[in-house]
Amino acid sequence: MKTRRSYISFVYLVVLLATSTWLVSCEDVIDLEVENGPQLLAVDGWITNQPGPQRIRLTLASGYFDNNEPQPALNAEVTITDDLGKVFTFEDINNNGVYEWKPQQIDTLNALTLDTLGHIGRSYTLRVKYAGEEYTATSTIRPVPVIDSLVYQFESLPFTPPNGPKEGYIAEFYARDFAGVGDTYWIKALRGGGLYADDPENITLAFDAAFSPGSVSDGLVFILPLRRAINVNQLFSAGDTVGVELHSITPESYYFLQQVRQESSNGGIFATPPANIFTNIRNRNPNGQKALGFFGASAISRAETIIDPAKARPEE
C-alpha cells in the first residue's frame, strides 16, 4: 500500500511539472508601442449663484499611461458672458492654470460680497482662447429646491462598515422636487463644513425626485436612498457636523456626470471597454483642435447641522 501511494504521488508530481512547463512555454511577451496623441485642452468649469470667486481650471490632457499630474494650460484668455451681455474676465493669478474671477463690489462695513456672477434663470457662455484656437460652451442656472430639514437618528448596524463605527447616527435631508418632468440635481455630502468624499465614484445624481428618468417621481419628496446618500456609507458621531448641498444642474450636466461616475468605477472582470466621455466644449473652427471637459452652471441649496443626541429622532 505504501509503494502504491508513493507511485501515485510521483505520477501527480510529474503531471504537475509537465503542466507548469507547458503553461510557461505558452507565455509570449508582447510589447505594444502606443503613440501619444496631441495634447488636447481639458476644461473643468463650474459656476454657481453663490457669492465670492468663481474658477475655471484648464489643463492639457495627458496620455493614457501617463500617471503624472496634468500640465496646466497657461496664457489662455478666459471670459464668461451672460445672456444680458455682461462679460466676466477670469485671470490665472497664480500661473497654475486655475483662472479666477473675483467680485469687485465689496461691502466692507458688513464684510459682505455684493456682486455675484451666477443668477437663477440666466444663461452663460464660456469662451476660452488658447494656442490659436477659440472654444465655447453654454450652460444655464436652473432653480433649486429649498432643503426643508436635515434630521438624524441613532443606528446600530449588524456589521462593521469599512470606513466607520458600527454604531452612530445616520443623517437624512428633506427637499421636494419642482413640479414638471425633467429637473436634474447633483447631491453633495458635507462633513465638518466642507465637501466630503467628492470623488467621481460617489457622485449622487437625481432625476426629478428619484435616480433616473422613467420613475413616477415628479414633484415628490426625494426618495429615501437619495435623502440618505449624504452619509456616504458610514455613520456619524455625536458632535460631528453633517450637511448637504443640492445643486440644480441641466440634463446635459446630469448625463455628463453620470458617464463620469460610470467610467471611474469601470473595472474588474466584468469591465466594459472604456469610452470617451462626451463634452460640451466646442471649437469655433470645425476643423480645429478638439477639447475635453465640461462647463456647467448651477444654483445651490445648502443645509448643515451638528449631531446632538438630545435632538435625534427615535430609532425606527
CATH code: domain of residue 112: 2.60.40
d(CA 109, CA 314): 45
Spatial CA neighbour of 263 closest among 255, 247, 214: 255
Is residue 16 in a domain?
no
- pTM for this entry: 0.84
Is pLDDT above 90 for 31?
Answer: no
Residue 264 lies in a domain: no
- Is residue 75 included in any domain, yes or no? yes
Are 247 and 192 in contact by the 8 Å Cβ rule? The answer is no
Residue 21: inside a domain, yes or no? no
| Same domain, residue pair 186 and 237 | yes
Mean per-residue pLDDT, 276-284: 95
DSSP 22: H
Picking from 104-113, 242-251, 278-287, which range would have the lowest pLDDT averaged per residue? 104-113
135 and 179 in a single domain? The answer is: no
pLDDT average, residue stretch 43-57:
96
**Are 174 and 232 found together in one domain?**
yes
CB atoms within 10 A of CB 93: 11
Q: Which pLDDT score is estimated for 306? A: 97
Residue with cell 485671470: 91
Give domain status of residue 196, yes or no. yes
Whether 307 and 286 map to the same domain: the answer is no
281 and 226, same structural domain?
Answer: no
Same domain? For 53 and 135 the reply is yes
Tell whether 52 and 66 lie within a shared domain: yes
* Complete DSSP assignment for 264-278: HT--STTPPPP-PPP
- The answer to whether residues 158 and 108 belong to one domain is no
Query: Could you tell me which of 77, 82, 146 has the C-alpha nearest to residue 115?
Result: 82
Which residues lie across from 79 on neighbouring strands? 89, 127
CA–centroid distance for 220 within its chain: 25
**Do 139 and 49 share a structural domain?**
yes
For residues 242 and 292, membership in a common domain is answered with: no
Q: Are residues 163 and 306 in the same domain?
A: yes
- Residue scoring higher pLDDT (146 or 115): 146
Residue 283 lies in a domain: yes
Per residue in 301-313, pLDDT tens?
Answer: 999 999 999 999 9
Which pLDDT does position 222 carry in this prediction?
Answer: 98
Lowest-pLDDT range, 28-32, 218-222, 225-229, 291-295? 28-32
Residue 36 — pLDDT band, cuts 50, 70, 90? Answer: low
Query: Residue 213: inside a domain, yes or no?
Result: yes
Q: 24 in a domain, yes or no? A: no
Domain count, the chain: 2
pLDDT score for 108: 59
Buried/exposed code over 23-44 (b: 16+ C-beta within 10 A; e: otherwise): eeeeeeeeeeeeeeeebbbbbb
Q: What is the mean pLDDT of residues 267-287?
A: 86
Distance CA 290, CA 195 (A): 32
Tell me which residue range forms the domain holding 194. 147-251+302-311
Helix locations, the chain, DSSP H = 2-25, 224-227, 251-264
Q: For residues 111 and 80, state if they share a domain.
A: yes
